[in-house]
Amino acid sequence: MNSIRTRLLIWLMVPLSAVAAIVSLETFFSAQKASRELNDRTLLAAMLTLSENIVASSGTVLAENTLKILTENLGDQFYYYVQGPRGAFVTGYSRYPSPEGGLHLETGIPIFYNGEYNGVPVRVTAMRQFLSGRRINGLTTIIAWQQTSTRDALTLRLFVQSLLRLVLVVLAAGGIVWFAVSRGLRPIDNLQNAIDNRSPYDLNPIRRAMPIELKGIVGSMNELFGRVARSKRNREQFIGNAAHQLRNPIAAIKVQAQAALAAGAQSEMDAGLQQIVTTSDETARMINIMLSSASAQVLSNEGMKPFNLAKVVSRCAEAAVKASLEKGQEFSLDMQFENLTYWGSEILLGEAIANLIDNAIRHNKEEANISVSLQIDNDDRFVEIAVTDDGQPMDEEALIALSQPFSTGDVNSSGSGLGLSLAKDVAKSHGGYIKVRPTTPAMGKTIAIRLPHISA
C-alpha cells in the first residue's frame, strides 16, 4: 500500500469487482429466468402439438417418430399423460407428477410447476382444453413434462458466457486503469528525477512544467528551497561577520596581554589587565548575543512557556538604571500592567529588551531622556515594549539597515551591532516585529518590540 499506483488500482478495481459480482448475480437470475421461460414455451408448444396429434390419431399412443422429434427438439426425455372427458385415462404414461395441493385447472389456461418423476427433477405443464374427434369429444386434460437437465445446462451456459464477458471487461478495465495511472503519474517520476539529479548545493527553483495537481507541491518545494537558500546565505554571512568581528577583540586581547607582560611598573600591568578584562567582557557579550540570535531563529513551541512579561520588562529596566544615571541621563519606566502573563521565551525576550535599553543608553549623550514602557494597543491586538529617547531620530529605512547583524551605523561606537538584530529575530520568532516611530518631527525616536497579544 506504499505505492500510489497500487492504491489507485485497488480503489478502482475493488468497487468495479463488487459491481461485476452484483451484475453476475443479476445475470445468473436473468439467465435462469430466460431459460425457464424458453423451456416453458417450448414445452407448451410440444403439448399443443401433442393434443393435435391425439385428435388426429383418435386418442392412440403418440407416434414414435413424433415422440422422437419432440424429444430431440426439447433436448430431454419427453413424457405426457392424457385424461379424457370423464376422467378416463386415454394415452401416455400411466402416472404423472402432481403438484402440491393437487391439480386445479381452468379451461384453456396452461399452468407450469416443478415436480419429480422417477426421482429426477422435471418441469410440468398442464392444460384443460376441448378436443373434438371420433373417439374424444369434450374437455380433455393434457399433462406434459420433461427433465430439466437441458434447461439447467442452458442456464449455466448463459451464466458462464456472461461471467466470462464480465471477467474480461474487469481485466481489461484493470489493464486500462494501470496504464492510465502509470501515464498519469509520470510527472511524479519526472519530479523525482529533477530532485535526484540535483546536487546538495543546488537550491534553485524547479522550473519543469507540471500538471495542476503538482503545481502546489512544486510551489511549496520551491518556496522551501528559497527559505533554505536565504537561511544558508544568512548563516554564511553571519559566520563571516562573526569571524571578522571576533578576530579584532581576540587580537586586542593578545596585544593587551603582551603589553601587560612587557610593562615594567605594577600600575601599567594592572591597567593592561583591566583592558583585557574589559575586552573579554565585550567579547563574551557579543558571543552571547550571537548565540541568542541563533536560538531565536530556531525557536519552536517546545521552548515557549508562560511567564510574567511585565516582571521581565521591570527587571531589564532596573538593571539598566545605574548605567543610565552614571552617564547623567534621565531614566523612567511606564508600566500599564504590573502583571501580564505571556506565552514565549522569557530568556530571549529579556535579552532583546535589555539590548534595546542598552542601545538607547550607549548611543545617547548625557542629559538625554530615556523611557521604557509596556502597554497593549487600543485594538487589543499587540503588546508593545517600547524604548524612547530624545536623541538622534531614525526612520524605517535606517531601522532596517541597523537591524542587520554587526551594523552599528557609527564607526566610533563600541557596540557589537547585534542589539537591534537580536530584537528583530526574537520578535519574529514570537510572531511579531520591531518598529520605529519619531518622538517629535525633529528629534527623538521610539523603537518598539510589537508582539501578538496572546495570553498564556
Choice among 313-327, 390-404, 439-453 with the minimum mean pLDDT: 390-404
In this predicted structure, what is the pLDDT of residue 411? 43
Rounded Cα gap, residues 328 and 336, in angstroms: 26
Paired sense of beta strands 330-335 and 369-376, if any: parallel
Rounded Cα gap, residues 143 and 128, in angstroms: 9
Cell numbers for 145 = 413434462
First to last CA, the chain: 43
Rounded Cα gap, residues 355 and 422, in angstroms: 8
Location of C-alpha cell 518556496: 223
Per-residue pLDDT reduced to its tens digit, 403-425: 665 555 554 445 555 668 778 88
Rounded Cα gap, residues 456 and 432, in angstroms: 16
Query: Which among 65, 48, 37, 64 is positioned nearest to 123, based on CA atoms?
Result: 37
What is the chain's mean pLDDT, rounded? 79
pLDDT exceeds cutoff 90 at 79: no
pLDDT exceeds cutoff 90 at 366: no
Angle between helices 149-184 and 186-196 (to 10 degrees): 30
pLDDT exceeds cutoff 50 at 341: yes
Mean pLDDT over 92-120 rounds to: 87
Using DSSP's 3-state secondary structure scheme, residue 127 falls into strand
Superfamily classification of domain 303-452: Histidine kinase-like ATPase, C-terminal domain (3.30.565.10)
Location of C-alpha cell 569571524: 243
In this predicted structure, what is the pLDDT of residue 311? 92
Per-residue pLDDT reduced to its tens digit, 60-76: 555 566 666 666 666 67
Amino acid at 202: D
CATH architecture of the domain formed by 212-297: Orthogonal Bundle (1.10)
Rounded Cα gap, residues 80 and 142, in angstroms: 7
pLDDT exceeds cutoff 80 at 9: no
What is the reported pTM? 0.47
Domain ranges of the chain: 4-156, 212-297, 303-452
- Domains 4-156 and 303-452 agree in fold: no
Paired sense of beta strands 445-452 and 137-147, if any: unpaired
Q: To the nearest 10°, the Cα dihedral for 379, 384, 389, 390? A: -10
Using DSSP's 3-state secondary structure scheme, residue 416 falls into coil
User: Can you list the pairs that 203-208 forms with residues at least 24 positions away whose Cβ atoms lie under 8 Å?
Assistant: 203/228, 203/229, 203/232
Most confident of 49-53, 119-123, 403-407: 119-123
pLDDT exceeds cutoff 50 at 253: yes
Q: Is 374 exposed, middle or buried (0-12, 13-18, 19+ CB in 10 A)?
A: buried
In this predicted structure, what is the pLDDT of residue 331? 92
Rounded Cα gap, residues 228 and 131, in angstroms: 102
Cell numbers for 390 = 530624545
Per-residue pLDDT reduced to its tens digit, 191-211: 878 788 877 777 888 887 777
Rounded Cα gap, residues 455 and 307, in angstroms: 10
Per-residue pLDDT reduced to its tens digit, 276-329: 777 776 666 666 666 656 555 555 556 678 889 999 999 999 999 998 998 889
At the top level of CATH, the class of 4-156 is alpha beta
